[in-house]
Amino acid sequence: MKLAITGVSGYIGRLFAERVVKERVAERVVGIDLAPSSFAESQLTYLRRDVREPLLSGDLAGSDTVVHFAFVVETMRDRRLMYDVNVNGTRNVLAACERHGVKTLIVASSIAAYGVQRDHVITEATPCLGDSRSFYAHTKRLVEDELDLFAARNPGVRLVRVRPSVVLGPRCNTWALGAMAELGRFDTRRGMRLPVVHEDDVVEAFFRALTRPVSGPLLVAHRESLSMRELAPLLGRKPTILPARVLLGLSDFAFSRGLTRMSSDWLVLTVENTHRYDPSATEAALGWKPAHSQLDALKATLATGARLKASGVRFDAKTDRLEGTRYVLDATEGQP
């Protein structure tokens, strides 16, 4: 296997690449990202590249397998740029895959692509509706549309769309560290729920998708989600109950002033969904089930955040840069 990984310096891209290198399943690994690489030259060939650049096509030449992780996940104030990376960047990756006859393409999608499904139990076959109120969900739905077109044009390509819920764990080094620290402060009358999955379980799902002859959408999630009511006591808080529209407006007000990382872009999905999932098809296809509880994932993330905070790190909510917010976290840190 000759493998190329976009977003190789990101949270999950890095963990996935580490697993690939460790297992030696590829004879060649090319890692592509804007952020500097943490890998030795002997482990993979690193190329510093924006996925929107025309030169990306040459970077993918000679690869038979591509795993695409390069997305902006944290809500940016510059939504035009966020759209450009998520949608046009993916179009550029797809065009390069077509040009070079890539045989396997695995794309990191998200449960956000489903948008607002309210009380429905979501499966792999649930339509991706997106939601205009959540720009991230909107871009992920547009990416799913692009993948539909790609699949129609390239029926011989093994296309896998991996849709994880909110990924947390001991090596989380993103904006989620600051966002998770705010959990339990507010809730709605209906009751908000948070769908979480452990980073190791997500990496395992991606690795099995790489090494097994599966295709189509995969849903990487627990069947139920965490409620704010059960989380608040664990965090030593009593949440303030607000109407949903008030909470969404308050989050946008605070986000616009750099006081929080959690705008309504993500919060609307939490407020309006019950986050119930049935990943039976994924479990059968991959022989996979979560090995870690959602609480384990959350607690590990909060412990990492506390450790960084104790070392003097500030979770600055005003950051708005293309490669996202990534806190310095060594591979040995944050382990349970």
Active site residues: 136
SS3 124: coil
Indicate the Cα dihedral angle 158, 164, 168, 173, nearest 10°: 50
Kindly state the helix (H) or strand (E) to which residue 162 belongs, with its residue range.
strand 158-164
Is residue 75 within 8 A of residue 138, CB to CB? The reply is: no
Residue for token pair 């720009």: 135
Q: How far is CA 198 from CA 47, 214, 319, in A?
A: 28, 22, 25
Question: How far, in Å, are 222, 266, 270, 320 from residue 119 at the CA level?
Answer: 16, 18, 12, 33
Strand segments, DSSP code E, in 41-122 are 45-48, 65-68, 104-108, 121-122
Q: What radius of gyration do the chain's Cα atoms show?
A: 19
Interatomic CA distance for residues 197 and 335, integer angstroms: 16
CB 114 within 8 A of CB 128: yes
Residues present in the chain in total: 336
